[in-house]
């Protein structure tokens, strides 16, 4: 019995030591996070809580409707049930809409979402889904059927951004699991493999121009003064934000008769917490968030990665 008690005490001591170590690491990382990401946290403000993180929802896209103040977040479900669009606001009043396709659950990745005028845009492979904003914001809407609401685009879509004039669709390339072929461009920044393609909202058939961009772009937005902002992330590494000035850019080449501009002269770069996703621009702020606190990845729950942030690039 004495031996058994000693073994039990040793096991308990080791267990408690591990718990203490975990708490110390957790506390230390949270304490030093503002130091590690000092520039990010020096220009950020909290817009609202990131919705659906405890529902099995994996957030991917974000957009803000400036007229209503509503924030919409798109994503897929961990259990492969119907993808969702969550609607929330600064007071964290949350509801969601499920998506279907011809009466069957739509389980698309929902890599991005955008609001342009009175429509909501999000990707389904290389197709763009367009639904009325009023349907998404209507509190009586429980499900939206996307059948007959898609437009074929010139390439696959991983992120989406829109303003009052233009729609931008972006690709994700990492050179490993995710590879874009046929879009290689040699730039001053190195070889680019992916595009962000711009369309006039009044004509989504032919692009007005293309931006050639770096790897691992998860989000894109354009500010009113012509700054293009990219968020890049993959896995547990820090997210990185890149800011480019598009004013005065000269055409570098063409792709299928469309003017291509290289985003290869970064004006500002800073790091942020891992797993950043889609971007939007609203009320003077670059809107960003992370999927790390979802039930799929979990670890972000321990590092307070449950907020939607607005980044003030003028700071």
Going by the DSSP 8-state scheme, the letter that residue 297 receives in this structure is T
Report how far Cα 163 is from the mean position of its chain's Cα atoms.
Answer: 16
Using a pLDDT cut of 90, give the percent of the chain over it. Answer: 85
* Residue 30 belongs to domain spanning: 1-36
Is residue 10 pLDDT above 70, yes or no?
no
Query: What confidence tens digit (pLDDT) does each residue in 158-192 have?
Result: 999 999 999 999 999 999 999 999 999 999 999 99
In a domain, 41, yes or no: no
Contact 96, 108 (CB under 8 A): no
Please check whether residues 32 and 50 belong to one and the same domain: no
Question: What residues does 197 pair with on adjacent strands?
Answer: 169, 210
Which pLDDT score, from 0 to 100, does residue 300 have? 87
Beta strands 217-222 and 209-213, pairing class = unpaired
Per-residue pLDDT reduced to its tens digit, 80-106:
999 999 999 999 999 999 999 999 999
Tell me which residue has tokens 């950043």. 276
Any idea which residue has 């909290």 for tokens? Answer: 46
CB 215 within 8 A of CB 232: yes
The verdict on residue 61 lying in a domain is: yes
**pLDDT the model gives residue 3:** 60
Write the pLDDT tens digit of every residue in 264-293.
999 999 999 999 999 999 999 999 999 999
pLDDT above 70 (res 5): no
Q: What mean pLDDT, rounded, does the chain reach?
A: 91
Do β-strands 253-255 and 258-262 pair in parallel, antiparallel, or remain unpaired?
A: antiparallel
Q: Across residues 213-230, what is the average pLDDT?
A: 98
> Is 7 part of a structural domain of the chain?
yes
Q: What is the pLDDT of residue 250?
A: 97
The pLDDT-based confidence of 17 (bands split at 50, 70, 90) is very low
Residues 6+ apart with CB under 8 A from 150: 124, 127, 128, 129, 130
Instruction: Verify that 3 and 122 share a domain, yes or no.
Output: no
Residue 208 sits in the same domain as residue 90: yes
Tokens standing for 194?
Answer: 């992916």
How many other CB atoms are found less than 10 A from the CB of residue 10? 10
What per-residue confidence (pLDDT) applies to 35? 79
Q: Classify residue 188: in a domain, yes or no.
A: yes
Shared-domain flag, residues 16 and 88: no
Q: Say yes or no to pLDDT of 16 above 60.
A: no
What pTM did the predictor assign?
Answer: 0.89
Residues 249, 301: Cα–Cα separation, whole Å: 41
The answer to whether residues 143 and 29 belong to one domain is: no
Do 18 and 78 fall within a single domain? Answer: no
Q: Domain check: are 154 and 184 in the same one?
A: yes
Q: Kindly state the average pLDDT of the residues 223-234.
A: 97
* Residue 8 predicted with pLDDT over 90: no
Same-domain status, 97 and 183? yes
**Residues 105 and 236 grouped into a single domain:** yes
Question: In this structure, are 28 and 164 located in the same domain?
Answer: no
Would you say residue 12 lies in a domain?
A: yes
CB atoms within 10 A of CB 227: 18
- In this prediction, residue 28 carries a pLDDT of 37
Residue 307 has pLDDT above 60, yes or no: yes
DSSP sequence for 263-290:
---EEEEEEESS-B---EEETTEEEE-B
Residue of 279, 258, 117 whose CA lies nearest to 198? 258
How many independent structural domains does the chain possess? 2
Alpha-carbon span 160 to 139, nearest angstrom? 24
User: Where are the extended beta strands (E) located within 41-139?
Assistant: 44-49, 57-65, 70-77, 84-88, 95-101, 104-105, 114-116, 119-124, 127-132
Residues of the chain above pLDDT 70, percent: 89
Using 50, 70 and 90 to split pLDDT, how confident is the model at 1? Answer: low
Mean pLDDT of 247-266: 97
In CATH, what number is assigned to the domain containing residue 112? 2.120.10
Q: Tell me the torsion sign for CA atoms 297, 298, 303, 305.
A: positive
CA distance 87 to 267: 34
Question: Do 27 and 145 belong together in one domain?
Answer: no
State residue 299's pLDDT score: 86
**Residue 132 is assigned to a structural domain of this protein:** yes
Please indicate, yes or no, whether residues 213 and 292 belong to a single structural domain of this protein. yes
């Amino acid at each position: 019995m004495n031996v058994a008690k000693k073994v039990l005490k040793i096991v308990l001591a080791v267990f408690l030591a591990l718990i203490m170590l975990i708490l110390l690491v957790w506390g230390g990382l949270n304490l030093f996070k503002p130091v590690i990401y000092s520039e990010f946290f020096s220009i950020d403000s909290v817009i609202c809580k990131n919705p659906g993180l405890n529902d099995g929802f994996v957030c991917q896209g974000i957009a803000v409707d400036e007229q209503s103040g509503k924030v919409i977040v798109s994503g897929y479900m961990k259990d492969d049930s119907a993808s969702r669009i969550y609607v929330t606001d600064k007071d964290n009043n949350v509801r969601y809409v499920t998506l279907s396709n011809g009466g069957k659950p739509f389980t698309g990745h929902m890599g991005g979402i955008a609001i342009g005028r009175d429509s909501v845009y999000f990707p389904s492979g290389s197709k763009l889904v367009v639904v009325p904003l009023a349907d998404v914001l209507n509190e009586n809407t429980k499900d939206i059927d996307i059948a007959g609401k898609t437009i074929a685009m010139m390439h696959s879509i991983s992120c989406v951004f829109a303003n009052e004039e233009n729609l931008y669709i972006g690709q994700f390339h990492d050179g490993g699991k995710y590879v874009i072929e046929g879009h290689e461009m040699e730039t001053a920044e190195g070889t680019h493999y992916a595009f962000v393609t711009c369309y006039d909202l009044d004509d989504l058939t032919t692009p007005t121009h293309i931006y050639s961009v770096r790897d691992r772009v998860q989000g894109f937005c354009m500010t009113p003064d012509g700054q293009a902002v990219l968020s890049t992330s993959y896995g547990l590494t820090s997210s990185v934000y890149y800011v480019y000035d598009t004013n005065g850019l000269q055409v570098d080449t063409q792709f299928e008769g469309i003017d291509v501009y290289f985003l290869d002269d970064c004006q500002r770069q800073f790091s942020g917490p891992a797993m950043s996703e889609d971007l939007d621009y609203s009320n003077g702020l670059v809107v960003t968030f992370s999927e790390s606190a979802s039930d799929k990845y979990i670890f972000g729950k321990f590092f307070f990665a449950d907020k939607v942030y607005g980044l003030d690039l003028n700071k």
